Each structure stands twice: as C-alpha cells, then as structure tokens.
Structure 1
Amino acid sequence: MAGNILAGLPAEPEASERIETLLARPGVRIERIVSTGQASPPGFWYEQPEAEWVLLVSGAALLRFEDEAAARHLSAGDWLLIEPMRRHRVEWTAADAPTVWLAVHYLRD
C-alpha cells in the first residue's frame, strides 16, 4: 500500500470535507482529511472516545478547545494531540487552498 497525501486535491472549494481512511487496524485509524473552507457548525463540539494525533500538512486552520481561552492557529507542519473526550471544534479552515490534515485516531490504555 502506498500513495501521496497531497495527490488528488480539489481545485475549487467543496461543499464538505473529504475524509479518507488510509489505514485501519484494531485500535488505530489513520485518515487524510481535506478541508476547503469548512468549519464546525455553530455550537457543535467534537467529543470523541479515542485520542487523535493530528498534523496539518498544508493550509491553515483555527482550532478551539472548550477548556482554553484562546483558539490555536495552525499552519503547515503544526501537530497536536487531542486527548479522548476533550471538546474541540474547527473555527475555520483556509478557503483559498486545501487544508490537508493527517489524523491518527487510537485507543488510549
């Protein structure tokens, strides 16, 4: 299995994010997420049971954690770990070029 994380990116903004599973095994899932200006719906918070390590490969985004006063601006190369059940949301993603995320979801011991 092989590929290129930057291949096949949309030339124009799309109605919704593209989420592609690159690898799935018991206890771990690796996804490529391509955003083109999307954001979390008003009032919506992600609150997932697994941990998520995320790398912003290209583009830009503003990520907010419910328990932090200020949102985090992410640009290419930035990564972070989102602990299980930590409420977070995407305030915005760049609309002028695709924002590519590499997300690794895994179960914590």
Structure 2
Amino acid sequence: MRGQETIIRMRINGYKPSLVWLLVLQNPCPRSSFLDAEQVVQNGGHPEIQVGSDDIPGTLDLRALTGLTVLLQGVDINRLRLVYARLKEFDPARIITSSPDFIHEYERKAA
C-alpha cells in the first residue's frame, strides 16, 4: 500500500482533503516518480492510496481516511469488495465505489 504517508502528513498539518482516491490495483504499487502515490500530490494530482496486488485487504491500515470522501476504484470485484469492507471499519464520511460493472455510493448516517 502506498500513499497513506502523504495523507497522514496532510492531516497532521491540519489539512483535510476533500476527496481521496483509493485504487485497488492488479499489480504491485508502482514506485516510479510519476506514478508513485506518495508523490502524486507533488505532481499536481489528488491524494491517493494505492493497494497493490501483494497487499492483504484485511490488514490494510486506512485510518488516514476516517471522515473523508473516498473514491474507491478497481477491476477485480472480489478484491474491491474486500477493500470496501475494510475501509468501512475506519468510518469514512462517504465512499463512492466504481468498477467496470457497477457504481455504488455509501454515506455514513449523521449522529
């Protein structure tokens, strides 16, 4: 998993991103300077976390996404569902999930 360190630093510095991409990849996370999720913000993109094919969905630490709007995207439906279930454990404000076959939206209930 890559990208969470950038989001953690943003939040420590008092910035709450309006949305974060959570990408479930079919390959290991890229580390080239242009595609690395830890550098995407420096390159002018939106904050993102990449979940690589070698990551285990049930062990992902997604605390940095608590209270945020998350755009969850992937191709492998089973893996996407596992990451979605794990993400919900960290109480994001909203999840918009998309794959080639479906789009789904979840919004937490106001207390």
Normalised by the length of structure 1, the TM-score is: 0.31
| Structure with higher helix content | 2
Normalised by the length of structure 2, the TM-score is: 0.31
